[in-house]
Structure 1
Amino acid sequence: MHESSSHHSLRNEEKRVLLGITGGIAAYKVAELAHTLSQSAVTVQTVMTRSACQFITPLTFQSLTGNPVHTELWESNASGSMTHINLSREVDVIMVAPASADFIAKLAHGIADDLLSTLCLARNCPLMIAPAMNRQMWENPATQRNLAMLRSDGIRIVGPANGIQACGEVGMGRMVEPTELAEAIITFWQNKHLLINKKIVITAGPTFEAIDPVRGLTNKSSGKMGYAIAQAAVEAGANVTLVSGPTDLTPPAVDKFVAVISANEMLTAVQYEIPSTDVFIGVAAVADYRVATMSAQKIKKTNHNLTLELTPNPDILMTIATASDPPFCVGFAAETENLLENAQAKRIKKRLPLMVANWAQNAIGSDDNELILLDDQGEHILPRAPKLEQARHLIQHISTFFKP
């Protein structure tokens, strides 16, 4: 991204960024990011950890941004206000770059022992981080566990990149370039209002079809993709209702969360919401069948075969998409063979403007995914990436159908 393009993207709106800088050799690159943003009419506040000050001086960022640099949690303040509260209230987004392994661990576990970690915990604005560390530190299971927690908390992770590191090794862990960080911030602002005032209903997770009081039919869906899409839709400014089957996930900060168990319960919940809905996204792995008659008592084990009569469940997506005056409907097709052929056939049969295809064996339960978007314009491939990142791309694609 050239500097001129960032000027064009940001010039018409006053934006405020807080740059958090932690200890790492990549700290010197953040000076270029501060310069790029400042030249783009963005107000830049800077907070540095003590370790960051060992790599680059606060004076550098004060000169580039025209604003004082904050380094201490207990710095004197003539107004008597609390710096760790006020700084997070005065900006639109926080970008921590470089984000060290130590700082990532603090974020994941809610540790607040310096100014930067405290204001991140006390923030009321979105948080983005750009990890930078040695490749072994990046690959360490502890770091990956911490990153998974941050993703589930809705924190945006930008990078890292693969390349030569300061230690001389080559691998993942290199901080992405300042131009990419600026682009990530700009994209965040552009996406923030993509679906403003639009109501979106999303289904997620599996359904559970009871056989008797203790047994049932279900599937391996974790709900991660549906929850990620709900998070991305919230970020895009939409009014989001999430209808979820049984999962172990914590729901994102949606406007309405509806917990259901069976396919029929999910259909009822969706139909209640649909009259005022602009977009319906059917991500849930709804059971195709349920038992014709549920046993009121636990079925006792015997030495004989057990036969269950199964009856088809309603097709929630088709029910909504083929009704009169339907919302914009998006379907998901998880296939184990003939992915594109099967997904396209489902799209046509259910009259969907957009179908998302993915391989079931690579997607169910995983934290990342490869998606293929199918619409009237053809195929749009989203290479394998974390599900939240894919969700943001999907929401961006959906928004193009609503542009004047």
Structure 2
Amino acid sequence: MLSQETINIIKSTVPVLEEHGKTITTVFYKNMFEANPELLNIFNHANQSQGRQQNALASMVYAAAANIDNLAAVLPAVVQVAHKHKSLNIMPEHYPIVGYHLLGAIKEVLGEAATPEIIGAWGEAYEVIASVFIGIEKEMYDKAVQTDGGWKTFKEFTIADKVVESDVITSFYLKPVDGQPLPSYKPGQYITVRTAIAGEEYIVNRQYSLSQAPTEDVYRISVKREDEFQPYGKMSVNLHREMHVGDTVEVSIPAGDFHLDVESTKPVTLISGGVGITPMMSMYETIAKTTPERPVAFLHSARTRQHQAFDARLRTLNESMPNSTYEVLYSDEGDGFINREFLAKNVIEGSDIYVCGPTPFMRAVIKNLYAMGIAEENINFEFFGPAEELELVEA
């Protein structure tokens, strides 16, 4: 428990964090990686180079400060980050390193304004926040180990098959080297894939949604080939060009809090853009397999037919489900975009809605859903990478 004095001091720093948060987290990561370069084997380099990790941490620190007297308010965000941490093998021993460099960055950026009282209060607050993360992550690690076929950190998998789905998306079927049955997962969850890449000093980690209904012998990920000259393209280009059937990668146990509510009987609307189709495939296949009578609408947007993955599979599933609809728009072919009119026509009334795709796509879709009067609790969405601020207001 924090004293009221500590809470008051932390609250007083909220305006400062709002103004300087990104600068603090940028300095934090720079200093931490210089002092502890081995951590670059854990963190996503692309998110660092694009500033996404810095933005996400700045938002998290700001939210923690603003709610320091009611940390339960930020618990959903903590759980989301804890899933990411588990999938990357973040351990309790990493937290003192983070705390040391975070406080150091606050001092460095704020200078004399970072009084001993402020640094002391933030030191106390960090210990409390870190203990929450450590406790939640311990439960996740323990559950992973106790699950049939589960494991704690990373496990070696073989690429059992490699299937081209479109001009830009290829599926990889991954089987455990030890031949053990795989633990199930919640449709919509992801795994972390990590491997050494020729010419790269550090191990590269990327998180990919599982793109099919759960099976006990194989995980499928469907990877978009990104620009090879961009930091975020290293893993995808390596998988597409250099990794073949029989090669091995390391894989984390499935994680993530964006997933289909398989216990619900409510209708479902799945809305995806581009490679955001991957977690939706897992959800749609699961519905088709387990509750085919459940009303579901699958709404997808792609640039062209050549970019569209799984179209034949989706049409087959749709035909097999009596209460299903499947609609796809090709924006570069004159179909337009998933706008409010399209949503009003195709979203199932009273449904649970799941949205995934590029950030601008999700921002536009979710704004329109809100403007249609759909309650926030009925809209679920997933970011690829660190959670970002959508800056959602009524459209």
TM-score range, shorter chain: under 0.3
TM-score between the two structures when normalised by the length of structure 1? 0.27
TM-score between the two structures when normalised by the length of structure 2? 0.27
Bigger relative contact order (CA 8 A; separation at least 6):
2
**Structure of larger gyration radius:** 1
